[in-house]
Amino acid sequence: MNTTIHKQKDVIQNLLDLADVRLNGERPWDIRIKDDRAYARFLSGGSLGFGESYMDGWWDADELDTLVARVLKANLHTKVRNNPKLLIYLGRAIVTNAGSTKRAYDIGEKHYDIGNDLYERMLDRRMVYTCGYWKDAHNLDEAQEAKLDLVCRKIGLRQGDHVLDIGCGWGSFAKYAAEKYGAHVTGITVSKEQVELAKSRCAGLPVDIRLQDYRDVDGTFDHVISLGMFEHVGYKNYRTFMKVVKRVLKPEGLFLLHTIGGNKSDKITDPWIDKYIFPGSLLPSAKQIVTASEGLFILEDWHSFGADYDKTLMAWFKNIDAHWCEIQQTYDDRFYRMWKFYLLSCAGSFRCRCNQLWQLVLSPNGVKGGYTSVR
């Protein structure tokens, strides 16, 4: 090992000591270096270099989720200076509007359209791609069904109600609400692959699935829900989103917003997540959500259960890992390592409470007599 690499290793180890992580240690969360170039990439590339070097096989860890939880808990990401490339990225992200109408379908093409075969093997039997509700659940199927039922109960869903589902995915909520509650559901998504499969899964039910941006919705609905889509809206469009919901929601209706949340009001997302997983995404803060809805809605209920996302993500990884042999001819090893890094690093971020999961119930005019919280 030359002098430069030795110095880089010392700098990194001094940082990792704060998280009780060792380079080439023997514990499951320790980092095993396979290529010495990883040291320079850690220091120069921040989270982007950290994730990319993992994708390239330059380092490994038996418990990637535990490693990330320790690193985030120790705030190590704040102790490594961004390089010029990352500063340029920061400036570009603030100036551009990632959630604009012109770019509305990008996330569908780059993430949700990559292959239904992947998601069918990763998700539960209803194909719910949002956090499960594990309060009384013993497995992923139960947790996701409990979450769907929780949403229905929170909005007081009744037979014949017409619900707008913004970001309907593969039709999981639409199918459940129609079958179990006799509701009519209009689901919109920006993913062509989701539309095709959702229509097939909801065939014969009072469900209408559309390839449509939320800004183009018309009509009026008894209730509006959005499960795991608000993260793609972008801070410049939060107010617009709320105005659209207010416009299409009946005066006595309820709006349920289910979203991952951040602990502070950011204007950019993690560079690695933005480049490889969710382009243009951003986690809203509580302040940003409240500001966007101010004067439009009355906040009736706020439910936080972010710790459940740790369990959900770990279950997703267990599923995809167990069935990888079935699709490995379609997705190469670098994709597998990217997907593994995505699922397990996100699990770690929820475990250390850097990320949150919120369900809000909002009403246009306030529930007469008060809203009764549902858990």
> Which domains are assigned to the chain?
3-81 (no CATH), 104-363 (3.40.50.150)
Contact in structure between 185 and 173 (CB atoms under 8 Å): yes
106 band by pLDDT with thresholds 50, 70 and 90: confident
Pairing of strands 184-189, 162-166: parallel
Supply the pTM of this predicted model. Answer: 0.92
Question: What pLDDT sits at residue 309?
Answer: 98
Residue 83: its pLDDT value, please? 43
Taking the C-alpha atoms of residue 219 and residue 240, their distance in angstroms, rounded to an integer, is 17
Alpha carbon dihedral 228, 230, 231, 236, in 10-degree steps, equals: 180
Indicate the helix (H) or strand (E) that contains 258.
strand 249-262
What is the rounded average pLDDT of the residues 235-242? 97
Calculate what percentage of the chain has a pLDDT beyond 90. 86
Residue with the larger pLDDT of the pair 93 and 329? 329
> What pLDDT, on the 0 to 100 scale, is given for residue 101?
65
Does residue 212 register a pLDDT over 60? yes
**Rounded (10°) CA dihedral 78, 80, 82, 84:** 170
Cα–Cα nearest to 213, from 359, 102, 111, 110: 102
Please state the rounded mean pLDDT for residues 69-95.
60
- The packing angle between helices 140-154 and 307-322, to 10°, is 140
Q: What is the DSSP letter of 4?
A: H
The rounded distance, in Å, linking the Cα atoms of 170 and 37 is 41
Report pLDDT digits (tens) over 48-67. Answer: 999 999 999 999 999 999 99
User: Which of the four pLDDT bands, split at 50, 70 and 90, describes residue 44?
Assistant: confident
Please check the confidence at residue 100 and state whether its pLDDT lies above 90.
no
Active site residue 346: yes
Calculate mean pLDDT across residues 351-368: 97
Say how far apart CA 142 and CA 79 lie, in whole Å: 41
pLDDT recorded at residue 94: 40
Min mean pLDDT across 18-22, 31-35, 80-84, 242-246 is at: 80-84
**Is there a contact between 355 and 283 (Cβ–Cβ < 8 Å)?**
yes
**74-83, 101-110, 136-145: which has the minimum mean pLDDT?**
74-83
- Inter-residue contact 200 to 124 (CB < 8 Å): no
Give per-residue pLDDT as tens, 306-342.
999 999 999 999 999 999 999 999 999 999 999 999 9
The reported pLDDT for the residue numbered 23 is: 97
Catalytic residue among 131, 152, 168, 346: 346
pLDDT for 268? 87
What pLDDT band is residue 93 in, cutting at 50, 70 and 90?
very low
Bridge partners for 226 per DSSP: 257
Q: At what angle do helices 37-55 and 3-16 cross, to 10 degrees?
A: 60
Tokens of 246: 């207010």
Mean pLDDT of the chain: 93
Give phi and psi for 136, each to the nearest 5. Answer: -125, 15
- Please determine, for residue 82, whether its predicted confidence score (pLDDT) is greater than 60: no
In the chain, what is the straight-line distance between the N-terminal and C-terminal CA atoms, in Å?
57
